[in-house]
Every structure is written in structure tokens, then in C-alpha cells.
Structure 1
Amino acid sequence: MKKTHYRTLWLSDIHLGNKDCKAEYLLSFLNNISVDTLYLVGDIIDMWQMTKQFRWPKAHNQIMHKFMQMSEQGTRIVYLPGNHDEPIQSYSGMVFGDIEIEREIIHTTAKGERYLVLHGDQFDGDVTLGRFQAWIGDKGYDLLLFLNREYNRFRAWRKREYWSLAGYIKKHIKGANAAIARYRKACCQRAKDLQLDGVVCGHIHHPESTIEDGVHYINDGDWIENCSALAEDMRGNLTLIHYLEHVEQSKITTLEVGSKTSKAA
């Protein structure tokens, strides 16, 4: 089967080493694409979680090998560490093997539009009220992921597709949308100060593409809840990919083809 080719791909918040990482979905996605430039936009390895409990399943290791394989095959890879892989930030400006480490970078699309690329933890001060509130948020998010995990275990047992309960709950938590709006505004202000066309970030696990005060804001999402990525085609068009929707559509197509074949027989 022919692979889908992208000029550029942005992935963030994979959280390898975390039990909620959807590594199998990501590996399936990566095995069916090729890309010229890959931006790993932070929180790729969840070093926070691994200090609490070391966990490194086979699929997580396969993803790291896949990144190395892509690099060897000519994909330019830029790693922009976030808060969960913070120790790597100290290597900004260096190259390890063929992988570039940068805290932030400017990407120019095939259309000539310029986008600031960064994880987004740089703006935590604009979103949270302090360390205590951030700690409360972290513990609350752990609870959301626990509920999400157990709920989807039940759905799998019922042979139902994955659905982000955590994402649904977050949207209905008082103040969550306000925090997302503050984060979006801070990201766009940074891009505007640099006289850029837009910004690509991650960090808050909320995929989105919108215009904020004349600046194109794109959050490429995560592989904990949403299984999303941002892709640029060879013409410079930017598209948010929701991989689980692609999986479900493939299932429907397969069923339709199977049904037509049965009728023809």
C-alpha cells in the first residue's frame, strides 16, 4: 500500500513511558506515512512519570526506533523538548546523531508563511496562578486519565471504539476553557511580537486550529487523549489529523467493501 507523504509533520505530547500513551496507534500511523521534516514538539518522553514508576513497553521502544529509522532514511527531525522532557532543554542548539534539539524554531511553509514552533510550557505563567494550582491541576488530570482509561477498557470490552472521556470532561470543567483561551492568547502574542504568521504548539492536549488576533494558532494535540497531529502537504496546506477518526473510517470502508463483495458473490 502506498504511503501518504507529507512535507512536514508535527507531533507532540506522546508521553512515552506513560501508561496512557497510545503508542500502538502512533506506530500504526507512522508506518503508513513518509515525511520530509518531522517536528517533535515536546513531552515526547514522559520523564516526570518515569521517575515515579519506570515503564517502557515494547511499543514505546518501537516508536523510538521508528524515529531513528526515519532519520536514517532522510527525514529531518527537530526535537523541541517540553516540561515533561525538561532535561533535554539544556541541549538546545545541539545535534545528537541526525536529530536537532531546539527550544523553539521558525518553520516556513511551502506557501512562504512563517510559524513559530514550540512546546508551549513557556507560557505556563500566563495560564496558571502558581505552583499549588499547577499541582492541583496535575493531580486532577491524573484522575481524568484514570477515568478515561477505565471507561475505554469497558468500551473495548463492549467492542466499541475509543472515545476521549477525559477530553469531554475537560470541556465541561469550569475555568478550563478560560485557561485554554489564555494559553492561546499568550502563544499568539509571542508569534505576533516576532511578526510571524502563526504558531504551532502542544502542551495542553487540546488540538485546535483557529485565528486569534490575526495570528494562525494551531495546537497539534497529543497521543494521550486525542491521537492527533498536524501535517503540511507539498502545497503548504496545513491540516489537523485526528487519527482515530481515520481508523474508524477505514473500518467502515472495509465493511462496505466486504458487503459489496458478498452481494456480488
Structure 2
Amino acid sequence: MDTQSLKAFLAVAGAHSFSAAAEQLHLTQSAVSKRIQQLETQLGVPLFERHNRTVSLTDAGTALLPRARSILDLVADTTQQMENLSGDIAGSLSIATSHHIGLHRLPPVLRKFVQAHPNVDLDLQFMGSERAYQAVRLRQVDLALTTLEQTPKTDIAAIPLWQDDMVCVCSNNHRLAGISKISLQDLSSESAILPEPDTITYQLINNVFAAEGLTLKAPMPTNYLETIKMLVSVGMGWSVLPASMINDEALTIIDWPGASLRRQLGAVFLKHRTQSNAAAALLKLLHASADD
């Protein structure tokens, strides 16, 4: 039983697909299939039930899943601990982040980090918040800088760094701009321009409406907040954006009918994962920037 076969097993189990797992691992589908076959032969049991387009775990596969994760975690953490003993801040550091944080929060921190630690190879991957959490869990990235979930997770360490006060906005020419007192019902009857439904920001907004039995009309979701701002400014709908972004005379701030909306931005990483010296150095800089 080797680590590459276990990685292939976890990828197929997570994606429910050999082709998707192959893409994720940057391998051919036949290479992934061969690794799974070798693992099944070694263990003497089938690990997956093959369906037309998907696969699912057998009882043996379900039993192997937590053990495979533990084995790979132990190997990775042991390797990292040995590397950390050198004291060097070098090697690769992969970070998942949102475009908003990448544009508005990270530049001064990354500038200092790159200057102080030129031997670190940074890999920035831009993605939504839910996907970022998943990437951390799957060890696809070392840490993520994203919107924090409102309910803490037992396996994820979350460090709050920045707070975004959110405001509801529409175009000056939008019908809502002329209403003195707006209700959630008014907002639900108009098109909204919001992030993708699998983002924590969308869920934060949607929960307010769902609590009143209302449904959002958001036909054009996008995770680019600058794009959302542009679409709102030309009158295509209303949105909820960080107050720090609202410096456009074409936008009107609407009195939000519910409780004040805030989202917490921060760093997330696996609690039981040994962080590299590079990750620790970046987290130290992030803490300092948040305190400024």
C-alpha cells in the first residue's frame, strides 16, 4: 500500500468519478484506475461500486476512508516536521483566496512576504469560500484566506483577520432608490446580483430572506465583487457589498431592513496539520496587518 494509491483513492471517493479524480491529480484516467486496482488487489476487497457515470464506496471503501486520510496526514505531517527543523523559510506555499481579498487585503502583505522570503514559491488559487474550505480539507492548499463560516468546524482552525461591514446598494436610477422604507419583500421582488450560492456571503444574505419565507431572485451570480458593483451601477439589480467598496456616485445605499450585515474574513487551515515555516511566517504577517 503506497501513498500515491491512497491519494488516488481519496480523490475518487471525493469526486465520485475516476475522470474528475484524474483531472484533480493531473493524471490520466487509466493511471488512476490502475492505482485503484492495485490497492483493491493488495487489500483483497473492492473499494468502489461502478455505476454508469459515477462511483460510490463499498463498505470496505467506507471503512478505509478515514484510515487513508490518517495515513496520509501522518506522512505529510512527519515530512513537514522534519523540514521545519532546518529553520529555513523556503519551499512551496499554496494559498486559496477570493478575488476580493486578493485585490483589497493581500497586496501589502504579499509584498512584504516576497521581499522577506524570496526562496518561497507562492501559489495563489482564486476560488469561492466553500471551495476554499474544501481545498483546505483535501490538503490541496496549505491555508485559505476567505470569508469565515458562522459556525466553527471541529477540523478547521479559523483566525479572524478583517471584518467587512456590508451595505445594500442599487443604482441611483433603480426603482428601489426612490422608496423611503424598503422591506425584505420589496427586495425579494427585484432581481439581485449576488455571489454564487455556494459562497458563505450568499448564504449569509439568503438566510435573512429564508427566515421570512422569502426567496431571492439572483439570475446572474458571480463571485467577482467588482463585476457585481458594475452590474448594480448600470441598474441590473440590487446587491449587498462591503461598505469599503462603495465610493461610486452612481450607487445609492439602501437602508437594510434586517439586522446589520457583517462578514468576517480570515485564515483557515487544518487544526491537526503541521504548518510549514513559510505558512507560519505568512500568518505572522497577516496578524500584524490586521492589527494595524
TM-score, normalised to structure 2, is 0.21
Structure with bigger gyration radius: 2
TM-score, normalised to structure 1, is 0.23
